[in-house]
Structure 1
Amino acid sequence: MMEISKALERTMLLSHFTIEKDPDAILWIDSEDTLHRVNEAACRMLGYAPEEMVGKKPPELGFGLDPASVEELRENLRQHGIIRFERTIETRDGRQLPVEVTGSLVKFENQEYFCWFARDITERRKADAALKQAFHEIEQLKNRLQEENVYLQQEIKLTHNFEAIIGKSQRIQEVLHAVEHVAETDATVLILGETGTGKELIARAIHNISMRHDRPLVKVNCAALPATLIESELFGHEKGAFTGALKSKVGRFELANGGTIFLDEIGELPVEMQVKLLRVIQSGEFDRLGGTQTLHTDVRIIAATNRNLEKAVAEKTFREDLFYRLNVFPIQVPPLRERREDIPLLVDYFVREYAKKIGREINVISRSALSTLENYSWPGNIRELENIIERSVILCRGHQLEIGNWFHGESQTEEEKQLRTLTELERAHILKVLDFTHWRVSGPDGAAQILGINPQTLVSRMKKLGIERVSRGQHVDENH
């Protein structure tokens, strides 16, 4: 009998020890809604000594349960036997502690006890929040990749004027040197030049040799977007931001994060949008239309315009502070009339491109055709030249390219020709003499003799002025 009593005593001690050492807080509440017993974990969790907790009501210890709530829990226990819920309790030092509570109803010596097992779920909540954030970031990344894919697919469909910058004139070489210098930095670039001079090509060149070349170059034509849509296009919008906004949209600045954004025709940006662009340049921050969260972007900005922005600033149609932010590194792209020595190279390039597209072989360009192209003022610049060459190739029936009378306002008037530079006049005169001598440089009746200079001097001047024989695959023969 004594041995059975000792065994029971040991079992009771083990039970007591197990309860006290359990990592979860255990609390017993009697039928008077008073704490009857707590274990060590409950004391550690709430920050009280056992004697400070026993005999107290749960609301006095930060449980936030009024008598009605306790009675409701008891009723649930009577119906279901066990209940489980989560709530936040307040510890002695004022911390808000999330816990998972498992409750059961125990009867002992005709008394009813509500037994709570409370587990600190702070780390679980953190893990859940981190997981939720990770899923949110994955969803954002997926959406961004989808947006990038759509944008890049649109870009692939575009037909660019040319794939490389064509030219060896001093003016275009100066531009290329500027591109090389600024590409290795993150400086904002402002590309200035007339319509059709190839400003977008310069922007692409800067991006392609920069440290951001493996991220997107996102283009925005500020003149092509309606004023009502430009904010949504640049900064995106949230679902329901305006009528027809059925889902959230990623803006171009968000899409270009890590890469480059090219703001073409920046001079056409509405004044009210200039303020928001200035904010992005200064801080990298912007808000989606209809959004409440400030977003950040790491983007290199390249802008371009054919307008005189300094004049626009004076006329109050362009913000002065934005102009200075954009004008960190200006690049002036020369019009075609100021780089006439590049015309033969451009003509050759375009002839090859368009002849290849339609499966034709054109290997000769007449002197009269090239002379016409070189003497024209090109108000539409390279874009106009490309259009003229494409039309000529389409209409060509043999191997020699001929140019029709398709020019706006014909070639330059005599008065305009008199206003050309000495270099232009010299080049035009040498070409005229070479045409007269059928490209004979030296010897009797050669161009050098007519011009009254040494043949070697003439060859040197021809190289400097970019003068080459017009028939492809043929070169000037000094001894012809």
Structure 2
Amino acid sequence: MQNILIIGAGKGGYALLRLFEQTDYLQVKGIVDIDGNAPGMLYAKENHIHTYSDWKPVLDENIQIIIEVTGKKEVFEELLSNRPATAVLIPGEIANLIVTLLNEKNRYIQILNNKKMIQELIFNSIEEGMVGINDKGIVNFFNKSASKMTEVAVEDAIGKHVYEVISQSELPRIFETGCTETNKELILESGTKIVTSRYPMINDEGKKIGAFAVFKDISEVVRLAEEITNLTEIQTMLQAIIQSSEDAISVVDEEGKGILINPAYSRITGLSEEEVIGKPATADISEGESMHLKVLQTRKAIRGVNLRVGQQRKDVIVNVAPIIVNDRLKGSVGVIHDMTEMRSLMKELDHARTRIRNLEFNFSFEDIIGKSEQIQFAVEQAKLAASVPVTVLLRGEVGSGKELFAHAIHSASNRKDNNFIRVNCSSQEEHLLERELFGYEKDGTSYSGLFDEVNKGTIFLDEVGELTIKTQAKLLRVLRENAFVRIGGTNSIPVDVRIIAASYFNLEKLMREGTFREDFYFQLNRMPIHVPALRERKQDISLIANHLLVKLNKEFGRNIEGFSKTAMESLLLYDWPGNLRELENIISRTMIFLEAQDRMIEEHHLPKSILSISGDESEDVQIGTLAEQMDEMEKKVLLNALRVCSGNKSQTAKKLNISLRTLYYKLEKYNLD
């Protein structure tokens, strides 16, 4: 540490004294001035710093730096001739320059602090919610509007994984893909319906450092129009939202003439203010009727109407609400969401899904491994089913391979060159599932469904036991008449499709309880096939395990030759409640943690949970980590709950007091779905 002596306690000396006090590597040994009331002297006394009226006695006290700020030439020259050889003498001019530079630095720091304060004020004042994550998915900014819409406190959000704050968040995917998404509708867990735009964050070096989303309540503009009682106030408040909105906004007066639009409106419709302001509300409509005029006639809000607007006939969804002031209709306000790009992306996604299905699902009976009597009997039944156009009902536990049987039947049938589509009947609500299956009609436009896509192919209805009575009736018509009706439509559409159904439920029990139609059951049960559980055919475990080993070697780039005798014995002793999926999961987890030089899977490589269950309970077996044991216990709880609820995932979620989304996440995590 360097000792400093300051000669002169005026403003300059005082400033330097304050400065050096803030450093860890400089120590003020003392300050000298003939005026005991100089600012520096008074400050030094208050802070227990040595003060002197003469500098000569102090020079002998190990001083490395002497700063002369008296401004007197004779003092400087005398100090120069009397200073120790090891001390550095800094003249007042240099000292003043240092003070000036430091003051300038402090001024800039103050400016930066003010700017930061203003930015934080703006960030927390805007109406749009904002949330950002880092490259690990951890929330690193979350403004007050986001807190209000999600009903999550800012302090509870910062530092948490984004899924803990917004479980439906797509930000981790945006970070991974690096692609921007705009104007995506989402319903938050708080019930707020929003439109969100998501962007990757990329630094100057082109490296992805996170992602952020900006979102807003899409009903906010309409709600303001319904609640505010003064049209002038409405216009003023709308202006603050309009300029930053990606959705088009337009306002008309009580006569239906335009009085306000935003830049997004001009971008979507291609119409300028001159072409809209003061003109009838029909000016932007290229196909359909003006919702502004309809709202002015009915005095009621209209939401979710499909129209085409502007010179380019863009597809949009329109929400319009009346503006009522003191019980008098003063006009209406509309919000237009551009659906052109979204629908184009949906078509591309559907096309991609079709191609993926055709590439992925190319399994045959050769992929069904096993020589046991039980599996061979099931395979022979399935081969017979493939040769005739009969409806097949696959019965068996979760993970036993029902979907593999469905693929094999399709691949061996005369429909093998056409589409095979799997539908999880338990993963969607009734109206969404029916729209996906049959398509729908709205405003004169027909939208196709999976039955259109799978025509002349095979559709696999997984978990039919979770279908509602209403959906069962509609599928019964397909089975009986080879035809269906779109949701919202009236015309019967012929279809040539083979249905393979599967269920873990006791369908006969469901019939007795009145939740499964008897006529639908008998239509499905033309060709029932029981797919045995893995514990019913343990003699096949060795064949299946080695088959999976070959497959996983290719996936992981490994060269594992097989299983040791003791490792295989452990696999044979375990009951495999998760069936084939659990077996594949255990082998893949084991392979991941093998050393590069390992060529065989030994017993000690297997998860401790398998060893403790499969081994002799009287032996002193090793237990796994707390996390491993907790995972194994959670998996058992899930399997037991599924059995109790006969495989009904909605009932299972309710019984476990978790959301259906969480249940699906955990089933996927443990390969139980």
What TM-score comes out, normalization by structure 2 length? 0.38
Preserved CA contact (<8 Å) 2:399 2:582? yes
Q: Structure 1: which 5+ runs fail to align?
A: 1-142, 242-246, 416-480
Pairwise mapping of residues 7-406 of structure 1 onto structure 2 (< 5 A)?
150-153=353-356, 156=359, 164-240=367-443, 248-397=446-595, 398-402=598-602, 403-406=605-608
User: Does residue 411 of structure 1 match 2:613?
Assistant: yes
8 Å contact 2:364–2:409 — kept in the other structure?
A: no
Shift of 1:149: 5.6
- Per-residue deviation, 1:255: 1.5
CA shift digits 1:321-357 (9 cap, x unpaired): 1111100000000000011111011111111211222
Separation in 1 of the partners of 2:441 and 2:446? 4
Offset, 1:386: 0.3
- Name which one, 1 or 2, has greater alpha-carbon Rg: 1
Please state how far the C-alpha of 1:157 moved relative to its aligned partner. Answer: 6.3
Q: What pairs up with 1:462-473 in 2 under 5 angstroms?
A: none
Q: How far apart, in 1, do the equivalents of 2:405 and 2:600 lie? A: 32
* CA contact 2:391–2:499 (8 Å) conserved in 1: yes
SS of residue matched to 1:225: coil
C-alpha distance in 1 between matches for 2:543 and 2:435? 42
Q: Is the 8 A contact 1:376 1:410 kept in 2?
A: no
RMSD: 2.9
SS of corresponding position for 1:317: coil
Between the two structures, name the one with larger relative contact order (CA 8 Å, sep ≥ 6): 1
Displacement of 1:226 in angstroms is 2.1
Percentage identity across aligned positions? Answer: 43
Return closer, same or farther for 1:148/1:186 CA change in 2, 3 Å cut-off.
Answer: farther
Structure 1 residue identity aligned to 2:370:
G
Residue 312 of structure 1 aligns with an amino acid whose one-letter code is L
Size of the alignment, in residue pairs?
Answer: 268
Report the TM-score when normalising by structure 1: 0.52
Shift of residue 158, structure 1, vs aligned partner: 8.0
Q: For 2:609 and 2:515, how far apart are their aligned partners in 1?
A: 34
- Matched residues in 1 for 2:380 and 2:365: separation? 19
Distance 1:327 1:145 in 2: 37
Contact map agreement 2:440 2:487 (CA 8 A) in 1: yes
1:195/1:410 CA distance change after superposition, 3 Å: farther
CA distance in structure 1 between the partners assigned to 2:556 and 2:364 by the alignment: 17
Q: What secondary structure is seen at the aligned counterpart in 2 of 1:331?
A: strand
Q: Against the structure 1 CA distance between its residues 409 and 194, is the aligned structure 2 distance closer, same or farther, given a 3 Å change threshold?
A: farther
State the 1:227 CA deviation. 2.1
Q: CA deviation at 1:410?
A: 4.6
> CA 1:326/1:408 → structure 2, altered by over 3 Å: closer, same or farther?
farther
Superposition pairs of residues 433-444 of structure 1, within 5 angstroms = none
Give the residue type in structure 1 aligned to 2:428: L
Please give the alpha-carbon distance, in whole angstroms, between the structure 2 residues aligned to 1:399 and 1:283: 57
Equivalent position SS for 1:339: helix
Say whether the 8 Å CA contact 1:147–1:255 is kept in structure 2: no
Q: Confirm or deny: 8 A CA contact 2:358 2:419 kept in the other structure.
A: no
Distance 2:443 2:568 in 1: 58
Kindly indicate which of the two structures has a greater share of residues assigned to strand: 2
The residue matched to 1:292 in structure 2 has which SS? Answer: coil
Shift of 1:365: 1.1
**Structure 2 equivalent of residue 86 of structure 1:** none
Provide the C-alpha distance between the structure 2 equivalents of 1:216 and 1:155, rounded to a whole number of angstroms. Answer: 7
Q: 1:413 to 1:311 in 2, by over 3 A?
A: farther
Distance 1:222 1:330, change over 3 A: same
Deviations 1:53-73 (A, max 9, x none): xxxxxxxxxxxxxxxxxxxxx
Q: Secondary structure at the match of 1:411?
A: helix
1:349-385 deviations in Å (ceiling 9; x for gaps): 1112112222211113111111110010110000000
